[in-house]
Structure 1
């Protein structure tokens, strides 16, 4: 297990990814496109970029663990409690669809989070929701997430394995693995996947979430198919970040209940095919605007493997745009990782995750939490003023 000395850097917490574009621009180095093309100059189309090490001038001042976590705990309104407390199974399913859409956040071209080191953790609470992530594999990069809310009887288990590949004019990252959202008191489990992240260089620079997402609840027989779309060539407002799909019964009749349409960064509606009436099921501005930056509530309880501690020196240097200092700090972390790996290999030791049991089968990676519930975290997200 990788550890950082107790006297090491204090956590560096940065604002979450916002709905409003432009917040990430503060971290971008000059001439970024030229630098990116130079970096990819010797990469062949179809190559797996998993092991590509980015200079810090291409990094956001946060780890990929934080980005996954923010999609769960950084919201302006509490969609999760709505999922748990709706009166009927269909109403709960619609709320789960809306919550799934809310986990998509706009990203800016040219910057990406750090690749987490092995054993890195991220532990944050928002109200009664406690969220814990751990990097359970480095090559390949596999991240496990466990979140529990005992007040609302919610449990969440994710296992993510991103695979970025270069395709000449774009980079496509397929996010393998599955997400589970369990409403314990209703005995309902919702399983879903993630769309892929596409970074385009031509004909227009851009970053999009694209592809198909399936959401299923085995217990109720309700399912949804969602298609995330973007601009294939020239930008068109109607195509930009659009989402279309349907909610249906998985019985032999496959009866369609709702048609879904809209834009995941704006408004998404569901049309009832029985009545012909449409209703708004997701308002991105309401859910994602004004999200709060986490704060340290109890510094003594922060683990040395916490993302905001591990990458603190790098993040602070990026924030200050001290690129050489950021490069030195990041190189120090990566070199230490290599030394620890070599030492472990020389002893014939296998690294074991602290918070999850991990297995690999033909169907993919599986990550199961060791503890029944996630404890409250020393890092918390402040409530919005209108919340109680």
Structure 2
């Protein structure tokens, strides 16, 4: 799939609403609701409606994507910037910000895949996101789910999420989001259950939410509260970003880069699609050889993002601190980082 990361901003109001929570507990709940809202567009819609899992895109190093969601005077605009920061292994850096609302998301995501029986692929998503709320001096570490893709051979891929992901708040609490491929929590596919609890001790959960991440879910306060609507992906539809005309895009922007491939696929001219894709890939191999001869690395080909150390900025320091807190409550396997443990940040 070509570079995008658009799903992070598919529900701009929910993203902005994170900062409207009056208490740290409510802001964590708002963060959890927004995160659940990103899952349907990212892992369900694109495989069942758009079919992107089977399109022959292979993001190139330095590929870029820009998106904007315009808000009113009160809500503010949401701006997305993304760049493919590594080709081997594939890693995308992203930065999403609503300056008016005071909500910032930055991080990177990569993938490690292996074939699984029967006729599927299991994907371990590496990387993380750091959500910042400057007004409250709060930061949140967000980890990424595992993907189980089935139906690859038949051309009808479906995606399930598995394992547990976490949202860890610097205010001393966390959300553990468990995914089930068999409908354990709701009796349906794509089910999940999220428990929001203090990081310290064995305190009771202050919020519990469950349902399906591709459909409806509900929430209750504590163990004895009444269930209320949490989020419904079928009712609260995603909002497409505003994009520049392709004619005004840079050659490295995803939509322009893959225009000929996409056109051929839509016309079911797979021979032309394969030819156009091969030309893009061969051009990348030539650039890689030239970089090697000059002694340059993949990072030297980037324009938007830089590789920084863990203590280079506040987000890096927050990552270290929140990671340690997460490991203390969930163990070392709770976060999956890339082998080189990169931290990609948008250049200022």
Task: Identify the TM-score tier after normalising by the shorter chain.
Answer: 0.7 to 0.9
Structure 1 residue 117 and structure 2 residue 52: aligned?
no
TM-score norm. by structure 1 comes to: 0.71
Structure 1 residue 332 and structure 2 residue 279: aligned?
yes
Residues 198-220 of structure 1, C-alpha deviations (whole Å, 9 max, x = no match): 112499973212221111101x1
Pair 229,113 (structure 1): closer, same or farther in 2 beyond 3 Å: farther
Instruction: State the secondary structure of the residue aligned to 2:342.
Output: strand
Structure 2, unpaired ranges of 5+: 71-76, 310-337
- 2:181 equivalent in structure 1: 230
Residues 327-366 of structure 1: pairs in structure 2 closer than 5 A: 327-351=274-298, 352=300, 353-358=302-307, 364-366=341-343
Instruction: State the secondary structure of the residue aligned to 2:234.
Output: helix
Show structure 1 runs of 4+ deviating over 4 A. Answer: 201-205, 359-363
- 2:3 equivalent in structure 1: 65
The structure in which a higher percent of residues are helix is 2
Residues 231 and 240, structure 1, Cα contact 8 Å, conserved in 2: yes
Structure 1, unpaired ranges of 5+: 1-62, 372-388
Instruction: State the secondary structure of the residue aligned to 1:145.
Output: strand
Q: How many residues align?
A: 301
Pair 237,248 (structure 1): closer, same or farther in 2 beyond 3 Å: closer
Query: 2:237, 2:124 → 1: CA distance?
Result: 24
Residues 195 and 209, structure 2, Cα contact 8 Å, conserved in 1: yes
- 1:208 equivalent in structure 2: 160
CA-based RMSD of the aligned residues comes to 2.7
Query: 1:230, 1:269 → 2: CA distance?
Result: 19
Residues 161 and 180, structure 2, Cα contact 8 Å, conserved in 1: yes
Pair 274,168 (structure 1): closer, same or farther in 2 beyond 3 Å: closer
Query: 1:183, 1:333 → 2: CA distance?
Result: 40
Query: 2:343, 2:18 → 1: CA distance?
Result: 25
Query: 2:88, 2:340 → 1: CA distance?
Result: 18
- 1:292 equivalent in structure 2: 240
Residues 36 and 213, structure 2, Cα contact 8 Å, conserved in 1: yes
TM-score norm. by structure 2 comes to: 0.79
Q: Select which of 2, 8, 15 maps to 1:80.
A: 15
